[in-house]
Structure 1
Amino acid sequence: MKPININCDLAEGYEYESQIMPLISSCNIACGGHYGTETSIKKAIQQAQQHQVKIGAHPSFPDKENFGRKLMNISSQELRLSLSAQLHHFRELCQDEDADWHHIKFHGALYNHLAKDKDLAKLCFEVIEDLNREVVVFTLPESELLNFKSDKIKYWVEGFADRTYADDFSLTPRKFSNAMHDTSKAIFNQVLNLAEAKIISTSGKIKKQTIDTICLHSDSKLTLNHLEYLHEQLPKFGYEIER
């Protein structure tokens, strides 16, 4: 069986998250910017350890009001200090739990904007570099972040199981009705395509792209159904969700 790394954004306040954890490969733990407290972060770290799930930090604009989903007009220095504080606190909590911190995935508007904003990508890279540790960073294909290199920082290119792609192979903005796949079958088909290094747009255009990890959003209880369907169907095609 060929392994597929499935990641989910967790510790964002949904009561069914503990049921998601055993079904995924990697988790991205909200670390206080858009959501999260010391208690929620520690709980997620402990659950990830229990189920041998790769542990990641999920930093964001410091914007709980908008759940980090809007571009925030703050200075570079304010953003740098906030991201650094989120990540240093996350590291301390991992150390408290003797947990292996594997990766970082930026959240929401920050994630999407740094992919095309060179200055913002440089700021985020420098914040990661200042941690002075080996870490994997999840990011979009052709992101500006990929232009910044370090011996200690590795990049995993991320695809999305439940988001559709426009003809330029960017994610379809959520304001459009066709932005999301909402059935288990559609999500399975997209995971299979991504595993086979294909991004297919809503009009059928195809781009060859190696994908290292695939995100399935956890903001619906249907995510449990989708994950169970993936576990059931993927082995029939020679794949399995990495554990």
Structure 2
Amino acid sequence: MARFKIDLNADLGEGYPFDAQLMQFVSSANIACGGHVGDATSMRATVQLAQAHGVRVGAHPSYPDREHFGRRTLQIPAEALEASLRDQIGALHRICAEEGVTLAYVKPHGMLYNDAARDEALADVIIDAARAISPDLAVMALAGSRMVARCRERGVVVIEEAFVDRAYRDDGSLVPRSEPGAVLDDDAAAVAQALRFARAGEVVARSGKLLKLPVESLCLHGDTPHAVAFARGLYNQMEVL
């Protein structure tokens, strides 16, 4: 079977005990920076792990919502949200500089990610916060989303991302976690979806509709004991950047 070259990323520094093992199988690390979880100690430890494994580092900011792990929409003024995002990204940026690591991109977390995928004004808040820290930061966003388009309209380098273990709606958005079947719990199905993304840039939505989505990076979730074994299996079937 042909091996397909693609970036694999994972959300790390979120307090789960699998970061060191997962870092062996990814090429990009989205590091939590305080909005939903994380502090200076966890950020520094995760940056050091990424450096040791030659893994690209990205900031993973969130709505300021530690109570709900960033998984609900917060109705807060744009100015307040941008200030929070600047603080989060800036904290990780400073740690990266101290460790001699380049902060390469920003990937919003949780509901902020999903909301920005369809809300141009919210996408602008994230872009503005990232640019306030460094004009060189890329943005990682849901493939085919409005946020991808907005980044391109504003001249921001964008990394189009897809999820190996999430179900898709017909419009290319993710099925909400609150709905049955939102997360693929069958390894074979998740691997098949990942390979299809890497090979053909397409996915079959939950309805059966075929969606064409240009994908540059695939996200692995690292919040279960099974995550490491799954990551290893997928890694062995792909040529990871």
Q: TM-score, normalised by structure 1?
A: 0.92
The equivalent of 1:202 in structure 2 is 206
The equivalent of 1:188 in structure 2 is 191
In structure 2, what residue type is equivalent to 1:215? C
The equivalent of 1:70 in structure 2 is 72
C-alpha RMSD of matched pairs (Å): 1.4
In structure 1, what residue type is equivalent to 2:168? Y
The equivalent of 1:161 in structure 2 is 164
Task: Kindly indicate whether residue 23 of structure 2 is the aligned counterpart of residue 49 of structure 1.
Answer: no
Measured in 2, the distance between the counterparts of 1:125 and 1:143 equals 15
In structure 2, what residue type is equivalent to 1:24? V
Task: Kindly indicate whether residue 235 of structure 2 is the aligned counterpart of residue 231 of structure 1.
Answer: yes
Q: Is the 8 A contact 1:184 1:229 kept in 2?
A: no
Secondary structure class of the residue paired with 2:71: coil
The equivalent of 2:140 in structure 1 is 138
Measured in 2, the distance between the counterparts of 1:158 and 1:168 equals 15
Q: Is the 8 A contact 1:169 1:199 kept in 2?
A: no
The CA deviation at 1:68 is 0.4
Q: Is the 8 A contact 2:139 2:159 kept in 1?
A: yes
The CA deviation at 1:200 is 1.1
Q: How many residue pairs were aligned?
A: 236
The equivalent of 1:13 in structure 2 is 15
Q: Is the 8 A contact 2:106 2:140 kept in 1?
A: yes
Q: Deviations over 1:68-109 (max 9, x none)?
A: 000012221211111111111111100010001111100011
In structure 2, what residue type is equivalent to 1:177? P
Secondary structure class of the residue paired with 2:160: strand
The equivalent of 2:94 in structure 1 is 92
Secondary structure class of the residue paired with 2:5: strand
The CA deviation at 1:150 is 4.4
Measured in 1, the distance between the counterparts of 2:230 and 2:134 equals 37
The answer to which of 164-173 and 25-34 deviates more is: 164-173
Q: In percent, how many aligned pairs have the same letter?
A: 36
Task: Kindly indicate whether residue 218 of structure 2 is the aligned counterpart of residue 219 of structure 1.
Answer: no
Q: Is the 8 A contact 2:142 2:161 kept in 1?
A: yes
Which one of the candidate residues 61, 64, 74 is aligned to 2:63? 61
Q: Is the 8 A contact 2:160 2:216 kept in 1?
A: yes
The answer to which of 121-130 and 8-17 deviates more is: 121-130
Q: Show the 5 A alignment for 1:32-43.
A: 32-43=34-45
In structure 2, what residue type is equivalent to 1:70? R
The CA deviation at 1:191 is 0.5
Q: Deviations over 1:191-239 (max 9, x none)?
A: 011112112112321122210101111111211111111133x2xxxx4
Secondary structure class of the residue paired with 1:158: strand
The equivalent of 1:241 in structure 2 is 240
Secondary structure class of the residue paired with 1:180: coil
Q: Is the 8 A contact 1:26 1:54 kept in 2?
A: yes
In structure 1, what residue type is equivalent to 2:239? E
The equivalent of 1:175 in structure 2 is 178
Q: What are the ranges of 5 or more consecutive residues in structure 1 without an aligned counterpart?
A: none
Measured in 2, the distance between the counterparts of 1:226 and 1:66 equals 26
Measured in 1, the distance between the counterparts of 2:131 and 2:215 equals 24
Q: CA 1:230 to 1:70, structure 2 compared with 1: closer, same or farther past 3 Å?
A: same
The CA deviation at 1:32 is 0.5
